[in-house]
Amino acid sequence: MEERLQKLLSAAGVCSRRAAETYLTAGRVTVNGEPARLGQKADPDRDEILVDGRPLAPRAKPVYILLNKPRGYVTTLSDEQGRKTVAELVADCGARVYPVGRLDLDSEGLLLLTNDGDWAQHLLHPSHEVEKTYHVSVFGPVAGAAARLAAMTDLEGEPIRPARVEVLRQTARTAVLAVTIHEGKNRQIRRMCARCGLTVKRLRRVQEGPLKLGNLPSGKWRDLSENEVEALRTEG
């Protein structure tokens, strides 16, 4: 059966669908000896599909991983600057997996990785709006900060959906907040806090949809159960 090459590369565990577009435009993929085009379809049972001159591997067994990402790791498979990557932490999982979304270098906590492009695409698509909850340690004018953050509807002129904010702990100048957002714009929570005069000391993702980080140690990963995979598939 013919399918788009982006989907075939993703299903074979070569890369994400988005990265597959780069593979195609760079001429790294050929079909029956001819350079592949963006949007082209092919049948892996009938056509010869090569990536960097090597045959496309059979469709990979789906792998779904929850990683507790530590600080100091970039959410990529490789890094030109030589920084540590999350790929190093899941190198023993037995498959080539890629991150579903991202966490900043200085952020930590729940990060999903998979080789299932359709599942990843579902979670990342804006229409599904999978909720993500973060525990955020802040310093500064914390009195009333939760209400100010929850009332925010734009960020530097860009509209955002209101966050849910709960105070977990608070002193005169520090607080730990549980912040739940839907969109995950670039450094959204850090930018929201900065607008309220707050300095983020620690930012940790603890929940994505129905999935919770729990007590998984930092730097460790575990496989998702079938129920967890399906629960996220139907989320949103």
104 has catalytic annotation: yes
Identify the CA nearest to 10 among candidates 91, 120, 115, 125: 115
Our separate counts of H helices and E strands in the chain read: 7, 17
CB of 40 closer than 8 Å to CB of 97:
no
To 10 degrees, the CA torsion angle through 114, 117, 123, 125?
150
Residue 160: other Cβ atoms inside 10 A = 17
193: CB partners within 8 A, 6+ apart: 136, 138, 149, 199, 200
Q: How far apart are CA 91 and CA 114, in angstroms?
A: 13
The residue from 45, 79, 104, 106 that is catalytic is: 104
Q: How far apart are CA 163 and CA 152, in angstroms?
A: 8
3-state DSSP call for residue 27? Answer: coil
59: CB partners within 8 A, 6+ apart: 11, 12, 44
Residues forming a β-bridge with 69: 109
Catalytic (active-site) positions: 104
